[in-house]
A and B are shown apart, each in its own frame.
Chain A
């Protein structure tokens, strides 16, 4: 198992009263993503626990793309992963943001 953390700056803060969102399941080739509002001084913090070691660069690329699509700030994203492919991770991230923001940005 490997723990990875990333931070993104320059996003737009979300409403702190927004309800957290949870999507996905911790199953083979899948992952769960929890998005919560949190005062982080304008940062978007991502923490990943993954069963697959050594994919830090891939996670970074997937998350860079994600942050380019969704410029969030004051948000904590927590991920439990069991070897989901980058495509699955991207879809789940988009699904999580959609649920979190109620389908609108």
Chain B
């Protein structure tokens, strides 16, 4: 069993897709590197921190991208963003079974400022255009750096999210909240607090993650295969239903101060024990209790 959390972006892609099926677009040998980092006297990566390409999953054609958190926290620069947009636009032409986004990103690469911001907004638009063309976009989130900022928004614009307990998903990350609002608001060094607030189990309980799996690439692969037949629904009815659901969630949990309060309100017995459960027993215990 290979840990998804410990693996590099390349290892994740190789083990997630059918063996030997991955073909990379714009590989490192093309040297399409960031034009901004050189100006800032900062070493660039040959793939700009994201690997894009095609392969098969359970025999079906997919396009896939994996962000490498080890390079600048997986942050989206101009080239990085353009590679993701190009992949999503290619999918509109090729109509694969799905596009898989193996996200691991702190959001916009601030070194590249507006170019990174524009990149993220283009990714969002490309995701929605692809979904409206009928191709599902599936997110896998279980890397060391989580998925925050603009990529957190991108993830929630997709059809489904698979997370491990180790995965994290949010808008502002814990360090950003602490820096801007103070340690009293959020202590980013309190690991238990961080994981029960932005970690995979909480996201699954809130209904934001569609599957919660153990931290191994095989489990992510199995979940991704089970989601291949997801049908994108961007109808006004679906959006209205989603908004009503979010409104009800705010009404029900808006006064909670901690994820534990929410888990209690969901009717889960002994909620303080949830972080200790393995993925399978956790999913079984909370069945029928998710928001």
Q: Which residues in A have some Cβ–Cβ distance to B below 8 Å?
A: 1, 20, 22, 25-27, 30, 32, 34, 36, 49-51, 78, 80-82
Please state if A22 and B71 are interface contacts (CB–CB under 8 Å): no
Please state if A20 and B70 are interface contacts (CB–CB under 8 Å): no
Please state if A1 and B45 are interface contacts (CB–CB under 8 Å): no
Residues of B within 8 A of A32 (CB): 28, 45-46
Query: How close is A27's CB to chain B, nearest CB, in angstroms?
Result: 4
Please state if B29 and A34 are interface contacts (CB–CB under 8 Å): yes
Which one, B10, B41, B45, B68, contacts A80 given CB within 8 A? B45
Residues of B within 8 A of A34 (CB): 28-29, 46
Please state if B41 and A1 are interface contacts (CB–CB under 8 Å): yes
Please state if A51 and B42 are interface contacts (CB–CB under 8 Å): yes
Bound-complex Cα distance A34 to B49 (A): 14
Please state if B71 and A27 are interface contacts (CB–CB under 8 Å): yes
Please state if B70 and A80 are interface contacts (CB–CB under 8 Å): no
14 contacts between A and B (CB under 8 A): A20-B29, A22-B10, A22-B27, A27-B72, A32-B45, A32-B46, A34-B29, A49-B44, A50-B43, A51-B42, A80-B43, A80-B45, A80-B46, A82-B43
Please state if B46 and A78 are interface contacts (CB–CB under 8 Å): yes
Whether B121 is near chain A, meaning CB under 8 Å from some CB there, is no
Interface size class of B (residues with CB under 8 A): 10 to 19
Residues of B within 8 A of A80 (CB): 43-46
Bound-complex Cα distance A32 to B27 (A): 14
Q: How many A-B residue pairs have CB under 8 A?
A: 49
Which one, B27, B31, B44, B70, contacts A25 given CB within 8 A? B70
Please state if B28 and A1 are interface contacts (CB–CB under 8 Å): no
Query: How close is A70's CB to chain B, nearest CB, in angstroms?
Result: 20
User: In the complex where A32-B45, A51-B43, A81-B43 touch, is A27 in contact with B29 (Cβ < 8 A)?
Assistant: no
Whether B197 is near chain A, meaning CB under 8 Å from some CB there, is no
Please state if A20 and B28 are interface contacts (CB–CB under 8 Å): yes
User: In the complex where A20-B28, A34-B29, A36-B29 touch, is A25 in contact with B43 (Cβ < 8 A)?
Assistant: no
Bound-complex Cα distance A20 to B24 (A): 13
Given contacts A32-B45, A34-B29, A34-B46, 13 further A-B contacts (CB under 8 A): A1-B43, A22-B10, A25-B8, A25-B71, A26-B43, A26-B71, A27-B71, A30-B70, A32-B28, A78-B31, A80-B44, A81-B43, A82-B43
Bound-complex Cα distance A24 to B38 (A): 19
Residues of B within 8 A of A82 (CB): 43
